[in-house]
Homo-oligomer: A and B are copies of this chain.
Amino acid sequence: MRNPLSGWLTGLALVGALAAAGPALAYEPLVEKQSFTIPEFTTQGGETIPDMTLGWEAYGDLNEAKDNVILVTHYYSGNSHAAGRYAADDTAPGYWDSIIGAGKPIDTDRYYVIAVDTPVNLGAHNPNVITTGPASINPETGKPWGMDFPILTIRDFVETQKALLDQLGIESLHAVMGASMGSLQAYEWAAVHPDMVERVIPVIGSGWSDGDLIAWLNIWGAPIRLDPNWNNGDYYDGEPPTQGLAEALKIVTLHAQSPEWSNGVFGRAWAEDGQDPADSFDNLFKIEAVLDGAGAARAATSDANHFLYLAKANQLFYTGHGESLYEGLLDIEAPVLIIHTNEDLIFPGDAVRETATLIKSDGTPVQIVELQGTRGHLDGVLSIAQAGDAIAAFLASESE
């Protein structure tokens, strides 16, 4: 086997398996993926999507007053599997299992935690993801949407989640929280539905996509557009652009880490003993082989068009999507607990601190917790337990 680490890098298990290294027991009851349908979803851009069907999971029990709900919004390559296992022999629990469960910071004896698969979810071919996007059949044509699927925004993701809450009769959120792209949804929730949101916990994210992130998101998607199998998004009756998608996911994987990982774990080690990279273009350094393995594994359950729609939604994001860049942040009234790391290459510390400053500027309470670690952006998933006490205290605090 070329890549000695391919085992723990397999597919979507990557993040979960690493998160599971902690001592905490997994959320106990087996988790069931459920689904709901929005018969006619109107996008922020004014287009209509019939039969928007999405998956969701819940941990804990909804109380009678339906006021103990915490909504967890997921990251770019993630889905609604935030905690627990589907089956007793699952190799890994959901990605934030270290903080969600009985007696954990997000205590499922007390709170009812809901997580929802986004539309255009990257894992369109992951059997545990239920999503609607370019890979879905357009009921009006009987064929996959492809690039005819309407462009969606982070606001649209929020409105699909609100539609689920409406169906469940839930009118308020004790908190909304999420990592990375999930933090963008958390900011958006607090800005556009201030009457429903009592607390906000954005993790490893800032209040808008800046020019630098817009540029990198373009570069993330470039390998897909270059793959001849992509064919302008029309590949559902042929070979998908798996190679381009794998290269795109390689970039994401590296960008979401930190040099302390690539240098500290791999350095200049070769992929194979005796196969000197100086001798052939086929001989790789270990970090190259690991990234190849991670990209290929993640591509196997992902969809290339969905990747591009997610990149677009992230590029388009600024809290509130209003007339000015900052007014959405000023619309946030609920207390905010921001969790981040200064080693983050995707949402750098300065942008996070600037976001906090703007939210605070009209009196909204904001706390910042800084994670320590060697994994960069990914520490918002892998090292979230460091913020466990702060999360528990914040959730227990009075809102207004």
Contacts and interface: CB of A to CB of B under 8 A. Distances in A.
A209 to B, nearest CB: 7
A259 B348 contact: yes
A262 B215 contact: yes
Given A151-B279, A211-B269, A212-B287, 14 more contacts: A44-B278, A151-B278, A210-B263, A211-B266, A211-B285, A214-B285, A214-B288, A215-B254, A215-B291, A218-B288, A222-B223, A226-B226, A228-B228, A281-B312
A316 B277 contact: yes
Interface residues of A, number: 51
B151 A212 contact: no
Nearest to A247: B222
A41 interface: no
Contacts of A219: 247, 250-251, 254, 291
B287 A214 contact: yes
Contacts of A247: 219, 222-223, 226
21 contacts: A147-B281, A151-B280, A210-B263, A210-B267, A211-B269, A212-B259, A215-B254, A215-B287, A215-B288, A215-B291, A218-B285, A218-B288, A218-B291, A219-B247, A219-B250, A219-B251, A219-B254, A226-B226, A226-B247, A268-B318, A268-B325
Contacts of A363: none
Number of copies: 2
A208 B268 contact: yes
A222 B245 CA distance: 12
Most B C-beta atoms less than 10 A away, residue of A45, A147, A247 = A247
Given A215-B287, A219-B254, A209 B268 contact: yes
B267 A211 contact: yes
Contacts of A280: 151
Contact of A262 (B211, B268, B288): B211
Contacts of A227: 226
A357 to B, nearest CB: 16
A70 interface: no
Contact of A281 (B211, B254, B308): B308
Interface in A230-271: 243-244, 247, 250-251, 254, 259, 262-263, 265-269
A76 interface: no
Interface in A22-54: 44-45
Nearest to A152: B278
A227 B226 CA distance: 6
Interface in A325-383: 325, 348
Contact of A151 (B263, B281, B316): B281
Contacts of A211: 259, 262-263, 265-269, 285, 287
Given A250-B222, A279-B45, A259 B210 contact: yes
